[in-house]
Amino acid sequence: MRVIFTRIATQELEDAVRFYELEYAGLGRRFKEEVRKAALRVAEYPKAWSLERGEVRKCLLHKFPYKFMYSVEEDHILVIAVAHQHRRPDYWIDRHQA
């Protein structure tokens, strides 16, 4: 199944990549790779991860404290947020309702 990132989720991903790259050279690239692997897992098994709220599911990244928030649509996966697990946990909720 195809995975589509919302504009805001893409911006969150890019911001986190920049942050990690500033912390340590190459860490941003590794973070982006973890997100890519999560997207591939979700595309293969869309309903394998637990529901976070309503129909929105979460896939935790393995090596970073982030979660990949998505919904399973008819013909694609919609990534709503690439969210830090410990900062403002429910900030993304209104995005899915819009």
Contact 73, 44 (CB under 8 A): no
Give the other-Cβ count within 10 Å of 26's Cβ. 9
pTM assigned to the model = 0.85
DSSP 3-state of 95: helix
Separation CA 89–CA 25 (nearest Å): 28
Q: Which CATH code for domain 2-89?
A: 3.30.2310.20
Kindly give the confidence (pLDDT) of every residue in the chain, 98 residues in length, as a single tens digit, with 9 standing for 90 and above: 999 999 999 999 999 999 999 999 999 999 999 999 999 999 999 999 999 988 999 999 999 999 989 999 999 999 999 999 886 656 555 655 43
93 contact partners, CB below 8 Å, separation of at least 6: 53
